């Protein structure tokens, strides 16, 4: 299992018509979270968080993974993870 978490604005709603409706989310915030999830395997972790999310968790022990180039973004993204022992307390 891999998880990518990013904090920010997004667009959410029901799309489709008739019997083919589904609820979905769109936006750069969602795209970065999806990219972080995909990068978990490469970085040997099951959870990656963006710097925006890390700032929202000031009392959580985090490990700085580093500045990572993310497909679709011009600048590297500062990424964090949670120590293995921290995962048990979530």
- For the entire predicted model, the pTM comes to 0.85
Phi and psi based region of residue 16 (left: phi greater than 0; alpha: psi -120 to 50; beta: remaining) = left
Cα–Cα distance measured from residue 83 to residue 19, given in angstroms and rounded to the nearest whole number: 44
Nearest CA among 38, 29, 28, 27 for reference residue 4: 38
Q: Give the C-alpha separation, 35 to 80, whole Å.
A: 14
Task: State the CATH number of the domain containing residue 72.
Answer: 3.30.70.1230
Which domain covers residue 7, as residue numbers?
Answer: 3-87
3-state secondary structure of 67: strand
Q: pLDDT tier at 17 (50, 70, 90 boundaries)? A: confident
Question: pLDDT tens across 22-75, in order?
Answer: 999 999 999 999 999 999 999 999 999 999 999 999 999 999 999 999 988 999
Domains contained in the chain, number: 1
Between strands 47-50 and 3-5, the pairing is parallel
């Amino acid at each position: 299992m891999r998880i990518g978490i990013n904090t920010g604005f997004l667009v959410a709603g029901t799309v489709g018509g008739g019997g083919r409706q589904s609820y979905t989310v769109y936006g750069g915030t969602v795209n970065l979270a999806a990219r972080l999830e995909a990068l978990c395997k490469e970085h040997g972790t099951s959870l990656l968080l963006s710097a925006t999310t890390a700032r929202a968790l000031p009392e959580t022990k985090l490990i700085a993974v580093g500045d990572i180039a993310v497909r679709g973004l011009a600048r590297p993204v500062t990424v964090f993870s949670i120590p293995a022992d921290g995962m048990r307390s979530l």
